[in-house]
Amino acid sequence: MTDKAQQAAQQAGEKVRDAAEQARQKAGEAYETASDWAQDTYERASDWASDHYRDQQRRLDQMRNRSARQFGQARNSIQNYVSENPMVVGLVGLAAGLLLGALLPRTRRENETFGEWADEVRNQGLRYARSATERGREYVEEAFSGDDDRFRRHESEYRSDRSNSAPH
């Protein structure tokens, strides 16, 4: 019986070894499958992220180029307006300077030194600023009221603004 027990133990040991080998093989296959799936998923996610990054970078470049062009056009428009209308620009600048100067508070030292003379100069400056503003407005109205098609839109906008702001 000992031979039979020994033989049964040996057969049981072989079965356990075979089962362990099969389990090891299945675990290896499962590991390979999971590893392949993880690698594939990583590559797809990486490709997706790279594609979207390139798309966003391209859009950013396009917006930057468009903004630079529009800024250049605006700068050129301002330069053209200033060079074509130096009187208007000068009058507006002078009126703005006079107005700002008139709005600034006077110091005690100015009051002691200049007194009533300062009040008269200030009032004259305000009158001059109002007059210059009015002349500038008239000049602009005259410039935009011609037969030139470029100014028709501006004239209609100006007239509709004037009629909307008129007292009722």
Tell me which of 31, 50, 84 is where a domain ends: 84
Low-confidence ranges of the chain (pLDDT < 50): 155, 166-168
Q: Are residues 66 and 130 in the same domain?
A: no
Q: Are residues 60 and 104 in the same domain?
A: no
Q: Are residues 77 and 130 in the same domain?
A: no
CA distance 128 to 135: 10
Tell me which of 84, 103, 123 is where a domain ends: 84
Q: Are residues 97 and 53 in the same domain?
A: no
Q: Are residues 55 and 90 in the same domain?
A: no
Q: Are residues 70 and 144 in the same domain?
A: no
Residue 58 in tokens:
């391209």
CA distance 74 to 68: 10
CA 67 to chain centre: 9
Range of the domain at 28: 1-84
Model pLDDT, residue 168: 44
Residue 101 in tokens:
């100067």
- Alpha-helical runs (H) found in 85-107: 86-103
Model pLDDT, residue 157: 52
List pLDDT tens digits, range 78-115.
888 888 888 888 888 887 887 787 777 778 887 777 77
Model pLDDT, residue 70: 92
CA distance 117 to 136: 28
CA distance 140 to 158: 10
